[in-house]
Amino acid sequence: MEEKVKTVIREKIRPILQRDGGDIEFLGVKDGMAQVRLRGACGCCPMSQMTLKAVVERIVKEDVPGIKGVETVS
């Protein structure tokens, strides 16, 4: 499951975030939740939680069965 999430982040999500000056780091999967750290412009943007849920979580849940959600870890 972790490899699938890494692939989705690398191929689909990272390019979207990098276009806006941000980035994402995959930290692992715990209890069905993908754990990530938003970096760059995404790390300090007031809209980062909306981006996390509306973009990152939606794509990961669609592409990786068994993932319940995505959460940020400091």
User: Which CATH number is 55's domain given?
Assistant: 3.30.300.130
Count how many domains the chain has: 1
- Cα separation, 20 vs 1, in Å, equals 28
> SS3 for the chain, per residue?
CHHHHHHHHHHHHHHHHHHCCEEEEEEEEECCEEEEEEEEHHHHCCCHHHHHHHHHHHHHHHHCCCCCEEEECC
Largest CA distance in the chain: 31
- pTM score, whole prediction: 0.85
Domain that holds residue 46: 2-72
pLDDT level of residue 61 (50, 70, 90 thresholds):
very high
74: tokens are 């400091």
Per-residue model confidence (pLDDT) at position 2: 94
Confidence class of residue 66 from pLDDT cuts 50, 70 and 90?
Answer: very high
